Amino acid sequence: MNSNIGTTWQIGQTTVTRIEELLGPSLQPEELLATWDPAVLKEHGHWMAPNFYHPSTNQFVMSVHSWLIRTPHHTILVDTCCGNAKNRPASPHFHRLDMPYLDRLRCAGVEPEDIDYVLCTHLHVDHVGWNTRLLDGRWVPTFPNAKYVFSSKELQFWDPSLNPHLPEEAREVFTDSVLPVIAAGQGQAVDTTDQLSDSLLIEPAPGHTPGQILLRLLSGQDEGVFIGDVMHHPIQVYHPTWNSRFCMDPEQAVNSRMRVLDHCAERHCLMLPTHFGAPHAGRIRRGAASFSLEFGEAR
């Protein structure tokens, strides 16, 4: 399996590097996609194996990674994976990890102090973990000079003090990975339509979670779109009505996916999801019946 740790793409004057936390065989297709139909393997199995699907074990290959964006002006980290030492008994794959994530960031030439913005597309367990690290028994912000950008809708939904009926794990995620950042004065709540600069635009992508946002990076004639969990697996490009079982509002999730695919096809954007196996990012083409995905061009 090709891991492509630290692979870099060029979008106009901006470089984008994947910072890996986890990559490997994970959920079975029907565990991820309620409407999974194994008949699609006839048409798509040839490109899905081995980087996106393991036929011998019937498992999807999934990644958990961050996107490191370096513009001429800012260094930005999109989504922060699961983090080390987090107590996640309900998510065994993410429980008490000890991964060299910060070493991989340094290998890409960036120290935690260099990050100007952290943007979490949404507040699920695998998108906020490295927001904090354990220091002398306390969770402290991993990126001391960063503003952490959260959608205010997401903050309101996942805050246990506002929503007492959240499951225990969601409460713990918010408490150890979001609250310490806010307590340190580093949180920045944004609307679901907002911007970090003229070339970094925030747009709503609800459905997977109520306040999920995506980030559009415009540079020169090119555009990259960081879509969070609008899609979890490349087969969803070919079957955009297939939701993950983790999508909270199925109808909204399909609408957001269709909108992203239309947009990326229209502008031939590089689409950068959080969980696709190698090569992790690609461009969308509109076909006669649906969409297709083109990989390539990373260096």
Q: Show contacts with Zn ion in window 69-128 (CB under 5 A).
A: 126
199 with 215: CB under 8 angstroms? no
Which one of 30-38, 135-143, 190-198, 228-236 is the stretch in contact with Zn ion (CB under 5 A)? 228-236
Candidates 154, 176, 223, 229; binder of Zn ion (CB under 5 A) is 229
DSSP state of 190: E
State the binding string over 125-154 for Zn ion (x if CB under 5 A, else -): -x----------------------------
Give the C-alpha distances (Å, rounded to integers) separating 225 from 209, 218, 222, 229: 18, 9, 10, 12
Question: Cα(5)–Cα(13) distance, rounded to whole angstroms?
Answer: 22
The H-or-E segment that residue 263 falls in is helix 250-267
Decide whether 26 or 71 has the Cβ nearer to Zn ion.
26
176 binds Zn ion (CB under 5 A): no
Position of tokens 């805050």?
Answer: 159
Decide whether 173 or 261 has the Cβ nearer to Zn ion.
173
Q: Show contacts with Zn ion in window 22-41 (CB under 5 A).
A: none
Strand partners, 25: 61
Which one of 28-36, 152-160, 184-192, 227-235 is the stretch in contact with Zn ion (CB under 5 A)? 227-235
292 with 237: CB under 8 angstroms? yes
Decide whether 223 or 229 has the Cβ nearer to Zn ion.
229
* Interface positions with Zn ion (CB under 5 A): 126, 229
